[in-house]
Amino acid sequence: MAKQLSYNTIHEVFTRFQNSEAEPKGELHHVNAYTLVVAVALSAQATDAGVNKATHKLFEIADTPEKMLALGEEGVTEHIKTIGLFRQKAKNVIKMSRILVDEYDGQVPSSRAALRSLPGVGRKTANVVLNMWFKHPAQAVDTHIFRVGNRTGLAPGKDVVAVERAIEDQVPAEFQQHAHHWLILHGRYTCVARKPICNACLIRDLCQFEDKTE
């Protein structure tokens, strides 16, 4: 695990991320808050691209919990069967939609606790929805962010909750909102798992990773 970077270094890292992409965006297809929750829940142990392929058609038919209930579990299963764990995920989408209709007037609640009470929605999914839809500076740590946080020293931690805390504690307030996407995109396209592309990395001189590639 790398040593925690200093405030000034972290500030410089995020200044560079910001200069390179001022408004970073997530890559999961969605058309409203409800479809975002469904898409993020479906993306567990699946790639965004794989989820998007399935949801383009699904969300044309069902972009509200009411329409998803009308489609039914079998209909949902049929649309998402190219995604891993699709049977369980289809069950959860239907259960979640039922709760949204019965308890939240068909709207997506905006607290972490209420989001996490929905079937198939864990801490990470709740934080993605809070960040992307409600513009709350929540940090959702996935495999990419965990790796980048630890390699660079931006947010070292032994588990995802520790990395989440480190980002919240260490990243200057003005960068908190977009930190999630900057770090995910950096991990997905540059600081990749097997062979990071260090020679094209815009924070190479600031990163603490000892095994940088040439």
- Chain residues binding ligand SF4 by CB under 6 A are 151-152, 190-191, 196-198, 201, 203-204, 207, 209, 212
Residue 205 is among the residues annotated as catalytic for this protein = no
Amino acid at 12: E
Closest approach, Cβ 148 to ligand SF4, in A, equals 6
Choose, from 91, 124, 205, 211, the residue flagged as catalytic.
Answer: 124
Measured from the CB of residue 45, what is the shortest distance to ligand SF4 in angstroms? 23
What does the H/E/C string look like for 98-145?
A: HHHHHHHCCCCCCCHHHHHCCCCCCHHHHHHHHHHCCCCCCCCCCHHH
Which member of 63, 91, 135, 142 is catalytic?
142
**Closer CB to ligand SF4, residue 177 or residue 190?**
190
Instruction: Report how far Cα 2 is from the mean position of its chain's Cα atoms.
Output: 23
Nearer to ligand SF4, 120 or 149 (CB): 149
The residue (of 30 and 151) whose beta carbon lies closer to ligand SF4 is 151
Minimum CB separation from ligand SF4 for residue 149, in Å? Answer: 10
Question: C-beta of 69: minimal distance to ligand SF4 in Å?
Answer: 44
Nearest in space to 93 (alpha carbons), one of 125, 53, 49: 125
Name which of 96 and 184 has its Cβ closer to ligand SF4: 184
Q: Could you give the CA distance from residue 11 to residue 152 in angstroms, rounded to a whole number?
A: 13
CA-to-CA distance for 191 and 145, rounded, in angstroms? 10
95 catalytic residue (yes or no): no
**Can you list the pairs that 106-115 forms with residues at least 24 positions away whose Cβ atoms lie under 8 Å?**
106/34, 106/64, 106/65, 106/66, 107/33, 108/33, 108/34, 108/36, 108/37, 108/133, 110/134, 110/136, 112/138, 115/37
Catalytic residues, by residue number, are: 124, 142
